[in-house]
């Protein structure tokens, strides 16, 4: 069985409150390392920074220090050029931030659904073709978990449903082609949620920086009382099971 921890929507902005919430989550995750039941990977699904500034990514690199193999991709609050410069030392690079982690029996793909200057998202054909190549190069039968920032379909929060993926048909086509994809996971909504997309589980991670209200929870968009959250994805024999945790901060 594989265990993949997912965190999303960290929104580093230089404030003590944001840093404290991320630190609580990372302390919790790092405290699970080293035992017989380890966390195999950490997936960070975007909105790492709040304004996409280099200093926010430098803060993130320091705060996200861990021995857990980590993949990151970007969200609508992020800036590709600043991220690539700080994290990968690649100047003036605005290419999508896609990455892959290969374990013995599991391939994790982190795909960039961000669109510069927009709140909604899009998984471009080029990104999905890159993902197809990663799957083709994996051993036959390898389970695949696909992560990105923007949910692929509405989830019942109007503020987010107006800002999800523009054309999920391309993603659905990609999923249909690959029966070894156990599910897709996203962020953006600052709420734990579970649904189905293209016949597979589609899981939305809770936010670290904050939680968004459902329509019946209040008139304010942001719920100020919820803890920072993490999703634990358990992958065993081609099946995906997800557990959510709120971490005291």
The count of other CB atoms within 10 Å of the CB of residue 34 is 9
Write out residues in the chain with pLDDT < 50, as ranges: 36
* Confidence (pLDDT) at 66: 94
Residue 215 is classified by DSSP as G
| Separation CA 98–CA 48 (nearest Å) | 15
Q: What is the per-residue pLDDT across 28-48, written as a single tens digit (0 to 9) for each?
A: 999 886 654 689 999 999 999
CATH topology for the 2-246 domain: Purple Acid Phosphatase; chain A, domain 2 (3.60.21)
**Could you tell me if 25 and 127 are in contact, meaning their C-beta atoms sit under 8 angstroms apart?**
no
Q: What is the per-residue pLDDT across 67-103, written as a single tens digit (0 to 9) for each?
A: 999 999 999 999 999 999 999 988 878 999 999 999 9
For the chain, the structural domain boundaries read: 2-246
Cα separations (Å) of 17 from 7, 133, 196, 209? 17, 41, 34, 8
**Could you tell me if 116 and 93 are in contact, meaning their C-beta atoms sit under 8 angstroms apart?**
no
**What is the CA 21 to chain-centroid distance, rounded?**
17
* Confidence (pLDDT) at 249: 87
* Confidence (pLDDT) at 34: 61
* Confidence (pLDDT) at 36: 47
**Could you tell me if 183 and 200 are in contact, meaning their C-beta atoms sit under 8 angstroms apart?**
yes
């Amino acid at each position: 069985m594989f265990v993949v921890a997912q965190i999303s929507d960290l929104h580093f902005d230089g404030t003590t409150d944001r840093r404290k919430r991320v630190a609580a989550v990372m302390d919790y995750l790092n405290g699970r390392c080293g035992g017989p039941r380890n966390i195999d990977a950490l997936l960070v699904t975007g909105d790492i920074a709040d304004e996409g500034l280099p200093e926010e990514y430098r803060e993130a690199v320091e705060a996200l220090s861990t021995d857990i193999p980590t993949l990151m991709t970007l969200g609508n609050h992020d800036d590709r050029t600043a991220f690539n410069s700080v994290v990968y030392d690649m100047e003036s690079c605005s290419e999508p931030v896609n990455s892959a982690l290969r374990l013995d029996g599991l391939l994790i793909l982190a795909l960039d659904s961000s669109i510069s200057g927009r709140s909604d998202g899009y998984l471009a054909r080029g990104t999905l073709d890159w993902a197809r190549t990663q799957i083709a190069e994996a051993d036959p039968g390898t389970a695949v978990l696909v992560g990105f920032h923007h949910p692929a379909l509405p989830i019942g929060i109007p503020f987010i449903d107006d800002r999800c993926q523009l054309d999920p048909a391309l993603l659905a086509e990609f999923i249909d082609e690959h029966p070894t994809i156990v599910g897709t996971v996203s962020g953006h909504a600052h709420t734990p949620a579970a649904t189905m997309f293209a016949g597979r589980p589609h899981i939305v991670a809770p936010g670290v920086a904050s939680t968004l209200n459902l329509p019946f929870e209040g008139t304010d968009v942001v719920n100020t009382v919820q803890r920072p959250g993490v999703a634990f994805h358990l992958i065993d024999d081609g099946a995906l099971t997800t557990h959510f945790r709120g971490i005291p901060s």
